[in-house]
Every structure is written in C-alpha cells, then in structure tokens.
C-alpha cells in the first residue's frame, strides 16, 4: 500500500490526494479519464470506504432509515442513492443523497 501511494504521489499529486482522502485505488484513478468523474470500478471501490460509510450514515441519520419514495422501512434493504455525483466521492451534501429501498432504487435506475 505504501509503495502504491508513493508511486502515485510521484506521478500525480491529485491521484495521491484521492487515494489518501477517498481510499480509491491507483488502478481506478488510472482507468478514469477524469478523476473527478468516477468510473464504475472507482465508484464500487468508493462504496467500500469508511468515507462513504460515514457519508451514508449521515444521510440515513438525516432522512431516517426509510425509503424516500415508498416509505418502506424495517426489514427492507435501504440504499443511499446519489441524486448527483457532482460532489462524490467524499464531499456529498445531504441533498445530494436520498435513501431508497432496493425496489425503488432499481426502478429509479431503470433496472428490472
């Protein structure tokens, strides 16, 4: 890990900052055309970070652990959805996020 960060620091200070602040991998940064716009892989990595967990908890504490669209709560899976990725990863405002149950979330993304 230390080696990766040292390498990235030498190549690109922005990449080093991203790795430090958001725990994204160097590979993810290199695969992204623009580090501000996350790739799918980068986003997946971000979802596994403490930064996202804290952001997600903040959103759930704000809205309550229930679906913003249908009101489902309790035994359902609640996801925190990004209304916008503009400030992601790591600087999301509460208004950038909403809690959605898995069903509404998939519907919202036009899934099955």
Interacting residues with Zn ion (CB under 5 A): 67, 69-70, 72, 81, 101, 104
Cβ proximity to Zn ion, 47 vs 69, nearer residue = 69
The CB-of-48 to Zn ion minimum distance in angstroms stands at 16
Give the span between the Cα atoms of 23 and 17, in whole angstroms: 9
In whole angstroms, how far apart are CA 60 and each of 3, 8, 93, 100?
A: 36, 34, 13, 10
Per the listing, tokens 């790739």 go with 39
Cβ proximity to Zn ion, 16 vs 105, nearer residue = 105
Cβ-proximal residues to 43 (8 Å cutoff; 6+ apart), any chain: 85, 88, 89
Cβ proximity to Zn ion, 50 vs 110, nearer residue = 110
The CB-of-80 to Zn ion minimum distance in angstroms stands at 8
The CB-of-62 to Zn ion minimum distance in angstroms stands at 17
């Amino acid at each position: 890990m230390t080696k990766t960060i040292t390498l990235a620091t030498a190549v690109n200070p922005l990449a080093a900052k991203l790795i430090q602040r958001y725990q994204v991998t160097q590979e993810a940064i290199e695969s992204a055309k623009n580090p501000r716009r996350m790739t799918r892989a980068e986003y997946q990595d971000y979802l596994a970070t403490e930064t996202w967990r804290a952001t997600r908890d903040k959103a759930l504490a704000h809205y309550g652990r229930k679906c913003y669209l249908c009101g489902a709560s309790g035994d359902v899976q609640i996801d925190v959805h990004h209304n916008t990725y503009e400030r992601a990863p790591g600087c999301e405002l509460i208004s950038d996020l909403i809690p959605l149950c898995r069903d509404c979330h998939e519907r919202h993304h036009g899934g099955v």
